[in-house]
Amino acid sequence: MFEKLDKDYILHSYARNYVNFKYGINATLYDDKEKDYIDFSSGIGVVSVGHANKEFNQAIKKQIDQIIHISNLYMIEPQVKLAKELVTKSGFDMRCFFANSGAEANEAAIKIARKYGEVQGKIKRYKIITLKHSFHGRSISTLKATAQESMHNYFGPFPDGFVYAKDIDQIKELCDDHTIGVMLELIQGEGGVEPQDKKKIQELEQFLKQKDILLMIDEVQTGIYRTGELLACHLYEISPQIITLAKGIANGVPIGVVMSSLKDIFSPGDHGSTFGGNYLSTRAALKVLEILDRYKNSGEFDENMIYFEDRLKNFAKKYPNIILKEVGFGFMRGLRIKSSDMLAKIIDESFKSGVLLLKAGRDTLRFLPPLTISKMEIDEGFKRLDMVFSKTV
């Protein structure tokens, strides 16, 4: 019934699965027929503390009963607290701007870089270098920043000034007098769970520092403990000038954040957002940080993360005919599958068998479970996957 309504009334921009989820508990979802699914996708890396997390829900319910929204014309207490938490926990001397999505956070990052390129130096520097297979969002400029030409069909003309590097090494060659920034994901998410080489990133950081070119790290997917650390920047031991966050920070309440060490870059009027950083989304994010911080300090987070990693590695070894290799960090993992046809079939069959998984790039089976997934849920997920894979061989 709803399938027809969906097709009749929603623009067809998604290749949707027709399932009607009714409720969830942590990493398990239930549909309208009470069939259960192990959620290895967490709404594309969003539901960090799990579905229907009681402590989280209580916090946002309480906030809803007080104030949801006021606008950024007034100070917003949970926004201030969240900014302080993010800055303090990250260890970076930065300030924050709040938006509503990853694309918007990256838009703000691009504006920060462009303004910096305008106000310092003799000539306007405006070029931003991004990497092949990157993903930075769906707005017109973040789409242009996304170096996947196939996604640019139909939507031009685009804003100028984005330059694509085929890999980290080529970035140095592409830097010229007009380059103001390099924007990249430390582990490419949509592009195929592709971690960059740590040493190369650190060398790039030094190179860019000497040239006063901004290092802009898109942590929309990797941020907020996804890789096991608060930020992937910590894993790579770098200090960029701009960091963007979104997906996993507020458990599904829309939010985007840009953090920058260019603390005085914006003056009133330079940038803004009606909804960005309102009481609801920042209260939600504060609670997510509190829950994850406690979970991490208890040791249970790392224990379960390692448990998941072991299960995944053993699983990869069991099916060498299907799985080429296992990639990623923490709870951001991928299995490279022999062919894209096989991958499509696996995702489809897993869904039917009650496991939600994601595709990334051409041939990667992507795992982004809630960070609070239990050992039992991990076991159940792999048990179901085992059945799917043993039928696929």
Ligand X SMILES: *Cc1c(COP(=O)(O)O)cnc(C)c1O
| Residues contributing to the site for ligand X (CB under 6 A) | 101-103, 106, 135-137, 185, 189-190, 218, 220-221, 246-247
Question: In terms of C-beta density within 10 A (0-12 exposed, 13-18 middle, 19 or more buried), how is residue 19 classed?
Answer: middle
Closest CB to ligand X among residues 192, 354: 192
Sign of CA dihedral 44, 45, 47, 51: positive
> Whole-number minimum distance, CB 185 to ligand X, in Å?
5
Strands 242-245 and 194-195: unpaired
Sign of CA dihedral 222, 224, 225, 230: positive
Nearest in space to 154 (alpha carbons), one of 137, 142, 140: 140
> Whole-number minimum distance, CB 219 to ligand X, in Å?
7
Secondary structure of 113-148 in HEC code, one letter for each residue = HHHHHHHCCCCCCCEEEEEECCCCCCCHHHHHHCEC
> Whole-number minimum distance, CB 231 to ligand X, in Å?
13
Nearest in space to 114 (alpha carbons), one of 181, 159, 177, 174: 181
> Whole-number minimum distance, CB 359 to ligand X, in Å?
13
Closest CB to ligand X among residues 28, 106: 106
> Whole-number minimum distance, CB 321 to ligand X, in Å?
30
Closest CB to ligand X among residues 102, 161: 102
Supply the Cα-derived Rg of the chain in whole angstroms.
21
Closest CB to ligand X among residues 135, 162: 135
- Residue of closest CB approach to ligand X: 102
Nearest in space to 382 (alpha carbons), one of 352, 344, 353, 342: 353
Closest CB to ligand X among residues 215, 388: 215
d(CA 241, CA 259): 8
> Whole-number minimum distance, CB 1 to ligand X, in Å?
29
Closest CB to ligand X among residues 187, 312: 187
Closest CB to ligand X among residues 24, 137: 137
Amino acid at 100: N
Closest CB to ligand X among residues 53, 101: 101
> Whole-number minimum distance, CB 138 to ligand X, in Å?
6
d(CA 57, CA 251): 10
Closest CB to ligand X among residues 229, 386: 229
> What does the CA dihedral 208, 209, 212, 218 come to, rounded to 10 degrees?
60
> Whole-number minimum distance, CB 312 to ligand X, in Å?
20
d(CA 256, CA 220): 8
Contact between residue 82 and residue 249 where contact means Cβ atoms under 8 Å apart = no
> Whole-number minimum distance, CB 55 to ligand X, in Å?
24
d(CA 165, CA 172): 9
Contact between residue 258 and residue 56 where contact means Cβ atoms under 8 Å apart = no
